[in-house]
Every structure is written in C-alpha cells, then in structure tokens.
Amino acid sequence: MIKLSELLHEGFRDPGIFKAVFLAGGPGSGKTYIAKGLFGIPEKVNVSQTGMKMVNSDKELKFLLNKYGFGTNLDALPDELFRQLTDPSSDDYSGLRTFAKDLTGQRRKLYQDGRLGMIIDGTGDDFRKISSEKAELEKIGYQTYMIFVNTTLEVALERNENRDRVLPASIVQQSHQEVNRNIGAFQGLFGSSNFMIVDNNEYKTESQAKKRFKMLVKQGLSKFIKAPIKNKKALSWIRKQKLLDKSKGRTK
C-alpha cells in the first residue's frame, strides 16, 4: 500500500490535484470504458494521463470473488450463495461485498488525504450518498464534476451479459431505473457547467471512439481539469506542503 507521506509528497505536484470527477450510470452502461477513454487511462492501469486516480469498488470485489473461487459471473451462482456474497441484510451474509467496499474506502482515503485527483466510479442510484461525498470533498478544497453515462435498458442488459462480472437481469433493471431517476437531481447538484451526459448506446470502432472522446473532452472536461485552483483552503494546503518540502530540502 502506498505510504501517506509518499502521497502527500506527490500531491502538491500532481496535475489533477484537488479535482474529483464522479461517474454515474447503471451496470452495463460502460462507465469504466468511457472513463478510460475520456481520461486516457491505459488498460490494467488506474491512473489517468492527468494523474487522476480511479476509485472503483468493482476492482476489489472481482479480485476477492476470483481469489475465493466464486468467479465473477454472479448470475450463474445459486440464489442463496448470491445473497450470501452480496446482500448485507441476509442472515448468513459473508461480508465479502462490505470488505471490498472497505478496501476501496481505504484507497480513496489515501488519495483524499494527499489531495490527489480522483475519478470516483459509482452507480449513481443513491443521490444522498453522492451529495454527501461531494460536500465532504468540497469542504477541504476540491472542485467536483459529474459524468453521467446514459444507455437504454436494452443496451445495458446486453452489455451486462458480455462483461466479466455478470449481474442478474433484475438487478440491472432496478439499478437502471433508480440511476436514471436521478439525472435531473444530479444536474442541479453539480450545475450545468460541471455536469456532462454521455450517450453510450452505440457501438463504435476504436477510431470512432477516440474521435468522440476527444470531442467530449473539449466540451468542458478539459477546462475543468486544467482550471487553476482558487479555493482558499486548497491554496493554503499547497502552500504548507511547499514549506514542508523546502524544510526537508534544508535538512538533507
């Protein structure tokens, strides 16, 4: 695990410092694919070209499912076992899903303590949770943005069947309804200048996708990431980190 001191040292030099982008979209919407394209994140790497770190509990959950031999096709599991693995309200809940979320939370806390840029990949079905997380980050100086990845239910169901962690269709349908119900609320929360809806219904070739990602970045995301930091708390934190850095330099 990365040491906090290393994160703090990296933090004030990081190009994505004090920027947090929330991703919203149901299972099968293609959030992770969109994020990797928009932020220039290579395969099997969770750091963008701007230095922003991806935060996604799916990564930890898939690792744990494979580690303990369950595999990631959750739809193929017996109903009782599926509940044991994923439903905290179940009498014989294993705690696996909670453990995965705890691991992700620890990773995110390290990034946040270092004020590093983050791409927070969530579902978006819980408006209050995202609203609370947004307020927490802004309280310490972060600027926030949301990318809402939108698809039809039919496309989401088809993509769910083709991804490595397959969910039961009933869960995809319920999540799709809950997420799309929050579009207007999210737009109001983040404001039109810091909110982007990405329609991800069409299947595109690699060259078409790259062209589209470039266009979407120009529409406002690039401006958000490159905008100079003006928040007083953020500027104060950076100033203190620079003083600490100079102090360390004199002692060497």
Task: Give the integer Cα–Cα distance in Å for 34 and 6.
Answer: 29
Structural domain range at position 74: 4-251
Backbone torsions φ then ψ of 54, nearest 5 degrees: -80, 130
Q: Structurally, how many domains does the chain consist of?
A: 1
Tokens of 192: 């039109």
pLDDT at 47 over 80: no
Residue 49 pLDDT > 70: no
Mean pLDDT of the chain: 84
**What pLDDT sits at residue 52?**
85
| pLDDT tens-place string over residues 165-186 | 788 899 999 999 999 999 999 9
Residue 250 has pLDDT above 60, yes or no: no
Checking if the pLDDT of 4 tops 50, the result is no
- 195-199 β-sheet, strand order: 53-55, 118-121, 19-24, 143-150, 195-199
Cβ(150)–Cβ(243) below 8 Å: no
Q: Which residue has the higher pLDDT, 49 or 104?
A: 104
| Burial of residue 131 (number of CB atoms within 10 Å: 0-12, 13-18, 19+) | middle
- What is this structure's pTM? 0.82
- Which residues have C-beta within 8 Å of that of residue 176, sequence separation ≥ 6? 26, 27, 28, 153, 156
Question: In percent, how much of the chain has pLDDT > 70?
Answer: 90
User: At 55, which CATH number?
Assistant: 3.40.50.300
Instruction: Choose between 142 and 219: higher pLDDT.
Output: 142
3-state secondary structure 161-223: HHCCCECCHHHHHHHHHHHHHCHHHHHHHHCHHHEEEEECCCCCCHHHHHHHHHHHHHHHHHH
- Tell me how many degrees the CA angle 55-95-1 measures, rounded to the nearest 5: 40
- Written as six digits, the tokens of 172 are 């995809």
**Cβ 123 vs Cβ 172: under 8 Å:** no
Q: What are 195-219's pLDDT values in tens digits?
A: 999 999 987 777 888 888 888 888 8
Do 25 and 129 contact (CB within 8 A), yes or no? no
CB 130 within 8 A of CB 186: yes
In the structure, what pLDDT confidence band is assigned to residue 102 with cuts at 50, 70 and 90?
confident
Does residue 5 have a pLDDT over 80?
Answer: no
Q: Provide the pLDDT for residue 149.
A: 92
Contact 234, 115 (CB under 8 A): yes
144-158 pLDDT tens trace: 999 999 999 999 999
pLDDT for the residue numbered 231:
94
What are the residues whose beta carbons fall under 8 Å from the beta carbon of 58, sequence distance 6 or more?
32, 121, 165
Cβ(7)–Cβ(51) under 8 Å?
Answer: no
Cβ contacts of 185 within 8 Å, gap of 6 or more: 127
Q: Is the pLDDT of residue 233 over 50?
A: yes
pLDDT given for residue 251 in this prediction:
45
